[in-house]
Amino acid sequence: MKRTSRDIRTANRYEVLRQIIAESPTSRQELAAATGLSLATVATLVGELLDLGMLTEVGFEDSAGGRPRGLVAVNASGGALIGVDIAETYVRVELFDLALNVLARADEDMRPGESRPVQVVGHVAAAVGSVVAQAGVEGARVLGVGVSVPGQVDRATGIAEYAPNWDWHDVPLLDLLSEHISYPLYLDNPLRACAVAELWFGAARGRGDAVVVNLGTGVGAGLALGGGLHRGVSNSAGEWGHTTLVLDGRLCHCGNHGCVETYVGAPGIMLNLRELSPRSPLLHPEDQTATIDALARGVAAQDPVAVKVVRDTARYLGAGIADLVNLLNPEVVVLSSWVAAALGEPLLEEVREAVARHALRRPLAATEIVLSPIPTDPVCLGAATFALEGALSSITQKAGQRNNRRTWSKQ
């Protein structure tokens, strides 16, 4: 597809800032070496980011024999970013500085039945107001708010097209939110939020191709290919949870049978447990989180039912991940989101064995499978990153101002 000069400039801007956030302070020369861009291109991009106050000059380093090299670092207080994780049972909002440190957090619980769009929007607006107040940042410094909502979203129009767990259809979520929130808003979903978080700050950073397997209530696979997020032609790529693992298998809420999600999403894991041991004390029929936590504790205590359920789940997961390895030949597969975090290393080990049984030798040898190294909520971090990307995409150089101050374009 056409990749315009503007697209390339934006991608280069991402690449340079990503590298600076990972390693500050740094010189333009180091950035050129790390990104493969020319020194002239790096100098231009660094100049733009300095003008916007996103970077700061922090002195010089000696270069053997040459002129001292100027060092730059991210200017953490040069702006604030907000990430919103709308999940099935809660809304979590975090406010970040430009180095992506969490400065404030607000959680709102949502009771079952409390899932009408207007109710969810109320929770989000309250939590966004709370984090801005807690952090004490001026509104003008908030560069944007990224919002993750489960299901299929139209990023361009801000519409939540389909959220299966709430039976939402074509909800104009950004329009509703913009009645309460005056910062630039960016809508996307958790699987892509987790992927972009890994791409900027986690296990996919600097890797060629990465697959971020998102294990929560829903299941997806964010695809970070060639250094960027693969979105597909209508921004719905990554619906791995709705690929067939067992032809004519379990009925899925999408209408298909045998979807990956019905075996390895939190409700699927509960079903794996129920089929093995219908009266297990590990089972909390109305509470996914409590059941997954009980399984994690059970595995730690070598409870045979818990061990078997995690092994069965890993067997399904391993077959599905082997498909991703064979199809995409990624450098790394990252297990992310709350189910992966809760079941942790024991799940990872069983998954590695199961993938090795199913995948072809050549792509298997090239692929590492890891748990997400991101210590905070990856969905909030990824959502905030969408806001950061949005801000970087909207940098414009006005005619006649080429060597003057850069400006943000209007949203």
DSSP letters for 162-173:
EETTTTEEEE-H
Tell me if 264 sits within 8 A of 320, measured CB to CB: yes
Contact between 400 and a second copy (CB under 8 A)?
Answer: no
Residue 250, classed as helix, strand or coil, is coil
Contact between 268 and a second copy (CB under 8 A)?
Answer: no
Contact between 1 and a second copy (CB under 8 A)?
Answer: yes
Contact between 253 and a second copy (CB under 8 A)?
Answer: no
For residue 65, the tally of other CB atoms under 10 A from its CB is 5
Least distance (Å) between residue 276 CB and a second copy: 17
Adjacent-strand bridge partners of 219: 215
Bridge-based pairing of strands 26-27 and 55-61 is: unpaired
* Region from 61-69, 100-108, 172-180, 242-250 binding a second copy, contact rule CB under 8 A: 242-250
Q: Which residues contact 214 (CB under 8 A, 6 or more apart)?
A: 190, 191, 194, 195, 220, 221, 222, 336, 337
Least distance (Å) between residue 182 CB and a second copy: 30
Residue closer to a second copy, measured from CB, 13 or 242? 242
Residue 244, classed as helix, strand or coil, is strand
Residue with token string 């030949």: 329
Residue 337, classed as helix, strand or coil, is coil
* Region from 96-104, 296-304, 312-320, 378-386 binding a second copy, contact rule CB under 8 A: 312-320
Residues in contact with a second copy, total (CB under 8 A)? 63
- Distance (Å, whole) CA 9 – CA 140: 26
Q: Which residues contact 8 (CB under 8 A, 6 or more apart)?
A: none
For residue 21, the tally of other CB atoms under 10 A from its CB is 19
Touching a second copy, residues 317-356 (CB under 8 A): 319-320, 322-323, 326-331
Contact between 2 and a second copy (CB under 8 A)?
Answer: yes
Among 8, 133, 290, 300, indicate the residue that binds a second copy (CB under 8 A): 8
Tell me if 336 sits within 8 A of 378, measured CB to CB: yes
Residue 310, classed as helix, strand or coil, is helix
Among 70, 117, 206, 267, indicate the residue that binds a second copy (CB under 8 A): 206
Residue 395, classed as helix, strand or coil, is strand
For residue 245, the tally of other CB atoms under 10 A from its CB is 20
Residue closer to a second copy, measured from CB, 290 or 327? 327
Residue closer to a second copy, measured from CB, 141 or 230? 230
Contact between 249 and a second copy (CB under 8 A)?
Answer: yes
Residue closer to a second copy, measured from CB, 128 or 321? 321
Contact between 144 and a second copy (CB under 8 A)?
Answer: no
Among 26, 27, 235, 372, indicate the residue that binds a second copy (CB under 8 A): 235
User: What is the DSSP code (8-state) at residue 67?
Assistant: P
Least distance (Å) between residue 222 CB and a second copy: 11
Least distance (Å) between residue 232 CB and a second copy: 2
Tell me if 389 sits within 8 A of 196, measured CB to CB: yes
x/- track of binding to a second copy for residues 20-49 (CB under 8 A): ---------------xxxx--x--------
Contact between 188 and a second copy (CB under 8 A)?
Answer: no
Residues that bind a second copy (CB under 8 A): 1-5, 8, 35-38, 41, 152, 161-162, 206-209, 221, 223, 225-227, 230-240, 242-247, 249, 254, 256, 316, 319-320, 322-323, 326-331, 357-358, 360-363, 365-367
